[in-house]
Copies of this chain bind each other. A is one copy, B any other.
Amino acid sequence: MKDHKDFHMTPEEFRLRGHTVIDWIADYQERIESLPVLSRAKPGELRAALPEEPPETGEDFEAVMRDLDELILPGITHWQSPNFFAYFPANASGPSILGELLSAGLGVQGMLWATSPACTELETHVLDWLVGMLGLPDRFRSDGEGGGVIQDTASSAALCALLAARERATGFLSDEKGCDGTLVAYASTQTHSSIEKAVRIAGLGSSNLRLIETDENYSMASDLLASQIAADREAGLVPCFVCATVGTTSSLAVDPVPEIGKICRDENIWLHVDAAMAGTAALCPEFRQINNGVELADSYCFNPHKWMFTNFDCDCFYVADRAALIRTLTVLPEYLRNRPTESGAVIDYRDWHIPLGRRFRALKLWMVIRHYGVEGLRHHVRAHVALARELADWITESEDFELVAEPLLNLVCFRHRGGDDLNMRLMEELNSGGRIYLTHTKLGGRVTLRFSIGQTNTERRHVDRAWDLLQKTALELEK
């Protein structure tokens, strides 16, 4: 009795087209190495090729897949290429992609426990698993006063942490009266830009963010933090939030969390630890020292969508006191009231982040952990770190290049000895060649090349070839 389904894709057609798309992705995975890593598209090129007006009537699926190949693909920078060494790892995997697919197919909203209990409970459960897997403090587990939630990104996690910090510091008065320009937040000069963004969004004002200088390893100088806090108190300001980073974006530097944590505890300041890029390493006991001091943190986050084979988005955010976070973010209108919420026996994750709606992201994380097991995840993290150390050795032995910092984990920061201009030209030459993609930063005021090893299918041969290319291209540019 079909009365108005005429335009929908039927389950049978979905099955057919779905197999086509799965095959397309499997083929893409097989041929990705043959594609230029950085897209060569010019600004406006794709838009010029697209029709100015949307289609009045529906089009064949084949036409869409043809445009995917001919128009979209040339405009793609292949983050999943094993020759992608830019920015940060962003390693998807088969089980993760299929988890995302299932989540889209189920199409549930996880805003409340009641709107799909499995969506909430699987998330809480997997996030508790990860506390054990990473050796994080038990205070982040949901069976005490803490708990974890999946956020889209570490930017949003940091914002939520800052908001809870703001409210704790003002006895939940900022929430009601608004900010008054006296709250101060602290990070280092190497901290991710998302902290500045959060400080501006939360109404503290960028002038109330103190960027503490770092030591020779680009780690926050905790004595300078302490003296800055004292100076601010002296000036009648209210220190409320410190962000310590475990693995900075530029160089994967680790801030001295034990010292910073002690200061925060003494001063009653909220400590957020951002381990977005490096946190996954703690899967391996031999790297677990990066968690030192995290037991002093009020909140913590790391990104499975960076280095744990889980496609974007999936940031795991933990708090030690979930009541403070929930009180900061909760609003309960009549249309969301329901018995389980009122019973107090369930988690409603809408009160743990900015958006109200949320998808079933725990599914992909669960499927990744079950596919790899702890053993498999550890194996690949170790392999990436070993490759980074090998590359660092080659650089140390070379005459033309130098290491800028000893690689702690999977990021190698180095430069050609020929100066900033040569390094920038070298990077651009390599990236436009399409065989590898790497990016830069500035450390100590000088251009530094960053070589991030963490894509799913990156093997020794890719790093080896990249190192060859780097040397040869540098020689050509010096001619």
Contact = CB atoms under 8 A, between A and B. Distances in A.
Given A41-B117, A117-B43, A181-B178, A93 B8 contact: yes
Contact of A12 (B1, B26, B122, B459): B26
Interface in A63-104: 63-64, 68, 71-80, 87, 90, 92-98, 100-102, 104
Contacts of A230: none
A369 B55 CA distance: 7
A102 B25 contact: yes
A9 interface: yes
A109 interface: yes
Nearest to A344: B43
B29 A250 contact: no
A58 interface: yes
A444 to B, nearest CB: 12
Interface string A349-371: 00000111101000100110111
A118 B55 contact: no
Contacts of A383: 4
Interface string A1-43: 1111111111111110111011111111110000000110101
A74 to B, nearest CB: 8
A97 B47 contact: no
Given A55-B374, A193-B336, A201-B201, 16 more contacts: A6-B376, A6-B379, A8-B457, A14-B26, A17-B98, A43-B117, A45-B117, A45-B121, A47-B121, A54-B129, A64-B366, A97-B101, A159-B201, A177-B207, A192-B333, A200-B328
B355 A152 contact: yes
A374 B56 contact: yes
Given A122-B72, A205-B178, A94 B14 contact: yes
A108 interface: yes
B87 A335 contact: yes
A332 B152 CA distance: 20
Nearest to A355: B153
Most buried by B among A38, A118, A460: A118
B457 A5 contact: yes
A6 B17 CA distance: 30
Nearest to A375: B57
A380 interface: yes
Contacts of A367: 64
The number of chain A residues touching the other chain, given as a range, is 35 or more
A132 interface: yes
Given A46-B122, A201-B354, A3 B459 contact: yes
A419 B376 CA distance: 59
29 contacts: A1-B459, A7-B371, A9-B94, A14-B25, A14-B98, A21-B101, A43-B340, A43-B345, A44-B345, A46-B121, A46-B122, A47-B121, A54-B129, A54-B133, A64-B367, A74-B118, A77-B108, A77-B117, A78-B108, A107-B312, A175-B206, A179-B203, A193-B333, A194-B331, A197-B329, A197-B356, A334-B440, A335-B441, A339-B428
A311 to B, nearest CB: 5
Contact of A153 (B97, B166, B356): B356
Given A14-B25, A29-B11, A357 B118 contact: no
A15 B5 contact: no
Contacts of A200: 175, 328
A286 interface: no
A125 B47 contact: yes
A450 B175 CA distance: 31
Nearest to A177: B205
A54 to B, nearest CB: 4
A208 interface: yes
B15 A109 contact: no
